[in-house]
Chain A
Amino acid sequence: MKVSLINLNLVAEDAIGTCIINQVHFFRRRGDDVHVYVLHPPHNVPTDIEEVTSVVTLRELIEGQEEHFRLSDLYIYHYPGRHALMESIRGIDRGTVIFYYHNVTPPELWGSDIGRDALMRDIEGSALVHYADLCITPSPFNKQDLVDRLGYAPDRICVLPLAVALEQFTPGDRDPKLVQRYELEGQQVLLFVGRMAGNKRIDILIEALARVKSQIPNTKLLLVGDDRSNPAFRPIVADARARAAELGIARDVIWTGRVDELPPYFRLADVYVTASLHEGFGQPLVEAMACGVPVVAARAGAMPWVLGDAGLLCEPGSADDLAEKVLTVLRDTGLRQTLIERGLERVQAFSLERYEANLAEIVEKAVTHTLPEIPPEPVVEAGREAEIQPAAEAGEETQIQPPTEAGEEAQTQPAPVIPRDELVLSILSDEIMAQSDIALRGYVVRSRVPLLGPFIAWVRRNLTSHLREPYLDPMIERQVALNRRMAEWMQRAVALWTASIQRQAELEARVEALEAQIEALSH
């Protein structure tokens, strides 16, 4: 079957990009014909994915210019937020439409006025889910959100946890280079991974660090993630830095910014901490568990579900509670070991294999019927077509070409845009040109006498050719040339005549105008 994946962009590093790439591989392995439609050019994706990715506009999608899109049996609309291509979901009248809801941060938790309007729009845009047959979302938390906020039928929402690359995220030793770079030798490391958005509550982590340090002085907080791409992050980061300085722990808070490779950072950590108030899934939690790092997280969003019993939960918004839980994990080695073991077990639920098995089930259930595969028509080469054309004409047995054919055709199909006079002239000139050729070029010698016919035709051809070729043909060609010249001359004459009529009309109008002017001046 044909599958179309639609998203705003395709960036290999981000969670939705990874998800789309996984899906492309999944559908390909099933033998489906899959294509990705994005608004922005893909970034850093493998060439095999780039080949099936088209950068399109909404117009191209809704006007049926993209044949694959028009004939698709399954459409998966990824919703990272509202974008133009999303609107095409309204017009799909066949196949199956899946809305892949990737969570939108609530504007009230955003923590900045910059970009809040966009979030409001994203929240409103999620109502487009009503145009879909089915909704996929990574956690029960998001499912409940869609049910409560939009009244979407719960039985039409499938929970499909994101896949985490478990082969990359494995437990391991600290990378000495990183230890050296961030001066972590002999330090307990609290790690947070994520963009520095308001809902992540970095300030709570810094408060908690101060409390933990009062008990265990050799502790550092490692903040890994994007802190500058969005202008909304800057005031949040600045405030957090100021607070850290105020508490006297500015040197113990390390901001790495965005990093290319995450697993070594997870391996640096003793505890993974997050005070985030809203998480649709919380992929770093899974990655931390996969790397054998115990997790302490706020009891908010999808995080309690993601952790299961493999982590400690604290009160949302409470630095004291977070600090206490972190201290427990750091001190109680038995508990720490249990959490690590449970975490490693828990992450198996988020493997790529599980993801694909679940997705296969959903697709199986969702797709009711498919259009047949139509292979593309073989393209006839231009050269070959040209070769065939005259041969077909020569094969025709028309004895005489009706000279007025072109004229008749023009008469039967008058183009309405041409003014009447010009039309008549063009018909006339075409007719004259057609009539000027008197050579009977389509003439074929043949005989209708039964059986003997071909023989008679052969005799006639051979008897006449010695006269025709040297004497008759040159005479006729001369006559044709003369006729053509005459016809062209007539055309030119007619053109001159029409032009002179126009000129006359113009001059008359000018004379009239001048006369009127003289009249006006003389009075």
Chain B
Amino acid sequence: MVYNTCHGLLQRGVDASILMINARIPGGQDRYRDVQGVPVHEVTYRSHLPGNPFLQTFDPRIYRDVMAEIRRVQPDLVHVHNVSGATLAPFVACRRVNVPVLLTLHDHWLLCPNNMLYKGDGALCDPAEHPRGCSHCFRRQDFWANIPWRRQIFARLVQNVRFFISPSQKLVDLHVAAGYNPARFRVVPNGIKPALFQTPSDSLVREYVRESGLFRTLLLAGAMVESKGIKTVIEALPLLARYVDRFRLLVAGRGEDRFLAALRRFDPSVVKLLGQVPFQEMRALYAATDLTVIPSVWYENSPMVIYESMLAGTPVLGSAIGGIPELIQHGETGYLFSPGDAVALTERVIQHFARSAPERRAMRRRCVEFAHTHMTLDRYLDRLQQVYDEALEA
């Protein structure tokens, strides 16, 4: 996404470069690269991000490097993406040299140490209800050490952010509920390149593409983790296998063993595990399936799976949570069901295959049209440049 943004901006005559800091993997690199025409400064540190909650909030090493980069590049505007890996140091640095800064929100890190507003018992967290954090956090993955008054401190440290760019309205609403000023948010949906298909090299993927139309295929793509609602699909599988004729589930992605083991227990002719499928080959897989399912149970932001699926013409069956309903028109370009409800998921699948073939074809057509009108990189860049201009004027 960042690469595409930078590449697009360069093509539009904007001088842009990328500083890539990854404090989460040890490496000790500091190198300048040219990635297909985009200048990238890549930094990793010798030791990974310490467990110290204060250093996880503000890492002086990152502050130093961001300062050096700002002095070197002399930017008019700094745009920060996914901030959780780089702490809040970039904002402090920008405040120091008084450069306007924008932040694209990818998750709920400003509000919640586990990024997801998702509690350990699987319930969702209401940011308004727990102004200081709920501390019942889901800690199994991507958990950041908590600090006292975390939300308040974070809000103070990002005070100089001109605009928060959010791909979905839902994320804005959650931040506003946690006390942020709604005027500071701009909704800019993501965009993807309508790239051409690549012939899949993986023989399994090729086989599935060739068999498209013979089965009623559901595709589950992404990480097989709890927050993505894999459990819902596992619960729905016996129903789907029973009530949907010639049903087949393709699973692309890696994840927790317990989910993969549960999926493996089903009839291998019904559930096909593909493991990690390369990004370029996913397009072909999307095009070959009948429905893509996103059963997430956390406040999903603006999942790229939906973008990619729609671009390939495949309607999406998504849980009505987070930014998902903003991308799917129920019955037109996909279906919505309440998160975690396996029966509702099954019903939607049955409903889809009960529709006539021309109706399903029309849905596919609408998906592509929607992707071409609402999800293109050009549209995203137009909108982004507007926000940039607004930020520079302010």
Q: Which residues does chain A contribute within 8 Å of B312, judged by CB atoms?
A: 369
User: Which residue of the partner chain, among B198, B209, B290, B368, contacts A369 with CB atoms under 8 Å?
Assistant: B368
Instruction: Specify which of B357, B364, B368 lies most central, judged by the most chain A CB atoms within 10 Å of its CB.
Output: B357
List residues of B whose CB falls within 8 A of some A CB: 197-200, 203, 206, 209-210, 212-214, 283-284, 287-288, 290, 311-313, 356-358, 360-362, 364-365, 368-369, 372
Residue-wise, chain A 258-278 has the 8 Å CB interface mask toward B (1 for contact) of 000000000000000000000
- In A382-413, the 8 Å CB interface with B consists of none
A81 and B391 alpha carbons, distance in the complex (Å): 64
B372 (CB) vs chain A CBs: closest residue: A368
Main secondary structure of the interface of B (DSSP, over half): helix
Q: How far is the CA of A95 from the CA of B362 in the complex (A)?
A: 9
Given contacts A93-B357, A93-B360, A371-B209, 11 further A-B contacts (CB under 8 A): A70-B212, A93-B213, A94-B213, A96-B365, A368-B313, A369-B312, A369-B313, A371-B288, A374-B206, A374-B210, A377-B203
Closest partner residue, chain B, to A375 (CB atom) = B199
- Give per-residue flags for A340-377: 1 if the beta carbon is below 8 A from chain B beta carbons, else 0: 00000000000000000000000000001111111101
- Is there an interface contact between B284 and A372, defined as CB atoms closer than 8 Å? yes
Given the interface pairs A64-B213, A92-B357, the reply to whether A372 lies near B199 with Cβ below 8 Å is yes
Per CB-CB distance, the 6 closest pairs between chain A and chain B, nearest first, are A372-B197, A93-B357, A368-B368, A369-B313, A93-B360, A372-B284
Indicate if the CB atoms of B213 and A370 lie closer than 8 Å. no
> Taking the nearest CB of chain B, how far is it from the CB of A37, in angstroms?
15
What are the residues of chain A within 8 A of B213 when measuring CB–CB?
Answer: 64, 70-71, 93-94
Please pick, from A64, A94, A374, the residue contacting B361 in the complex, using a CB distance under 8 A. Answer: A94
Alpha-carbon separation in the docked complex, A371 to B206 (Å) = 11
Chain B min CB distance to A438 (Å): 36
Taking the closest CB of chain A, its distance from the CB of B317, in whole angstroms, is 16
Q: Is the CB of A372 within 8 A of B214?
A: no
Task: For A70, list chain B residues within 8 Å (CB).
Answer: 212-214
A512 to B200, CA, bound (A): 72
Interface hub of A67, A93, A133, A377 (most chain B Cβ within 10 A) = A93
Task: Select from chain A the residue with minimum beta-carbon distance to B216.
Answer: A93
Is A149 positioned at the interface, with any CB of B under 8 Å from its CB? no
Q: Which residue of B lies closest to A369 (CB)?
A: B313
A90 at the interface (CB under 8 A from B): yes
Q: Give Cα A377–Cα B204 distance, bound, in whole angstroms.
A: 12
Contact at B210–A94, with CB atoms within 8 Å? no
Contacts of B288 in A (CB 8 A): 371
Which residues 235-260 of A have a CB within 8 angstroms of B? none
Q: Is the CB of B357 within 8 A of A372?
A: no
CB distance from B162 to the nearest CB of A (A): 38
Give the residues in chain B near A131, CB-CB below 8 Å.
357-358
Flag if A374 contacts B357 (CB, 8 Å): no
A24 contacts chain B at the CB level, 8 A cutoff? no
Neighbour of B210 across the interface among A67, A96, A130, CB < 8 A: A67
Contact A371 B284 (CB under 8 A): yes
Chain B residues, Cβ within 8 Å of A133 = 361-362, 365
- Does A300 belong to the interface (CB within 8 Å)? no
- Complex A-B: 8 CB contacts under 8 Å: A70-B212, A70-B213, A96-B365, A97-B358, A369-B364, A372-B209, A377-B203, A377-B206
Q: Does A91 contact B (CB under 8 A)?
A: yes
Q: Are A368 and B365 in contact (CB under 8 A)?
A: yes
The interface residues of chain A, by DSSP majority, are classed as loop
Chain A: minimal CB distance from B334 (Å): 15
User: When the two chains form their complex, are residues B361 and A372 in contact, meaning their CB atoms are under 8 A apart?
Assistant: no
Enumerate chain B residues within 8 angstroms of A96, measured Cβ to Cβ: 365
**In chain A, residues 68-97, which have Cβ atoms closer than 8 Å to a Cβ of chain B?**
70-71, 90-97
A64 touches B214 (CB 8 A): yes
With A133-B361, A372-B287 as contacts: A94 and B214 at CB distance below 8 Å: no
Given A71-B212, A371-B209, A372-B199, do A90 and B357 touch, yes or no (CB 8 Å)? Answer: yes
- Chain A's closest residue to B369 (CB) is A368
What's the minimum C-beta distance from B300 to chain A, rounded to whole angstroms?
A: 25
- Give the CA-CA distance A512 to B197 in the complex, in Å: 77
Q: Return chain A residues, CB-CB under 8 Å to B368.
A: 368-369
Collect the chain B residues with CB atoms within 8 Å of residue A93's CB.
213, 290, 357-358, 360-361, 364
Could you tell me if A92 and B358 are in contact, using CB atoms closer than 8 angstroms?
yes
Q: Is the CB of A92 within 8 A of B210?
A: no
Chain A: minimal CB distance from B165 (Å)? 29
B212, A369: Cβ atoms closer than 8 Å: no
State whether A371 touches B287 (Cβ < 8 A).
yes
With CB as the reference atom, state the residue of chain A lying closest to B311. A369
Cβ-defined contact, B361 with A97, below 8 A: yes
List CB contacts (< 8 Å) of A275-329 with chain B.
none
Q: Which of B213, B283, B288 has the most CB of A within 10 A?
A: B213
Q: Nearest Cβ in chain A — how far from B358, in angstroms? A: 5
Q: Which of B200, B203, B360, B369 contacts A372 (CB 8 A)?
A: B200
Q: Of A90, A91, A374, which is in contact with the most chain B CB atoms at under 10 Å from its CB?
A: A374
Chain B nearest CB from A93 CB (Å) reads 4
Q: B368's closest neighbor in chain A, by CB?
A: A368
Nearest residue in B to A132 (C-beta to C-beta)?
B358
Beta-carbon contact of A92 and B361 below 8 Å: yes
For the complex, what is the distance from the CA of A18 to the CA of B4, rounded to whole Å? 48
- Cβ-defined partner of A374 (8 Å) among B199, B214, B369: B199
Residues of chain A lying within 8 A (CB to CB) of residue B200: 372, 374
Contact B313 A372 (CB under 8 A): no
Name the A residues within 8 Å of B199 (CB-CB): 372-375
Which residues of chain B are within 8 angstroms of A95 by Cβ–Cβ distance?
A: 361
Given contacts A92-B361, A93-B361, A94-B313, contact A369 B287 (CB under 8 A): yes
**Which residue of the partner chain A has the closest CB to B284?**
A372
| Complex contacts, B358 vs chain A, CB 8 Å | 90, 92-93, 97, 130-131
CA of A133 to CA of B369, assembled, Å: 14
Q: Which residues of A contact B372 (CB under 8 A)?
A: 368
Question: Residues of B contacting A94 with CB < 8 Å?
Answer: 212-213, 313, 360-361, 364
- Please report the C-alpha to C-alpha distance between residue A459 and residue B225 in the assembled complex, in whole angstroms: 55
B101 to chain A, nearest CB (A): 39
Interchain nearest-CB distance for A155 vs B (Å):
15
Residues of B within 8 Å of A91, CB to CB, are 357
Given contacts A93-B357, A133-B365, contact A372 B210 (CB under 8 A): no
Chain A hits for B369, CB < 8 A: 368
**B333 CB, min distance to chain A CBs, angstroms:** 13
Q: State in angstroms the CA–CA spacing of A96 and B290 once bound together.
A: 15
Docked pose: A459 CA to B364 CA in angstroms: 70
- A94 CA to B200 CA in the complex, in Å? 20
| Chain A neighbourhood of B361, CB < 8 A | 92-95, 97, 133
How long is the Cα–Cα vector from A90 to B357 in the complex, in angstroms?
7
Min CB–CB distance A143 → chain B (angstroms): 21
Q: Which residues of A contact B210 (CB under 8 A)?
A: 67, 71, 374
Contacts of B311 in A (CB 8 A): 369
Q: How far is the CA of A372 from the CA of B372 in the complex (A)?
A: 19
CB-CB under 8 A from B212, the residues of chain A are: 70-71, 94, 371
**B199's closest neighbor in chain A, by CB?**
A372
Chain A nearest CB, measured from B284 CB (Å): 4
- Chain A residue nearest to B287 in the complex (CB): A371
Query: Residues of A contacting B198 with CB < 8 Å?
Result: 372
B358: nearest chain-A partner, CB-CB: A131
A93 to B288, alpha carbons, bound, how many Å? 12
The answer to whether A370 touches B360 (Cβ under 8 A) is: no
Q: Write out the residue numbers on chain B whose beta carbons fall within 8 Å of the beta carbon of A377.
A: 203, 206
- Measured in the bound complex, the distance between the Cα atoms of B360 and A97 in whole Å is 13
For residue B117, give the distance in angstroms from its CB to the closest CB of chain A. Answer: 35
Kindly report which residue of chain B lies nearest to residue A91, judged by CB atoms.
B357
Nearest CB to that of A88 among chain B residues? B357
Instruction: Output the residue of A90, A369, A371 with the most chain B CB within 10 A.
Output: A369
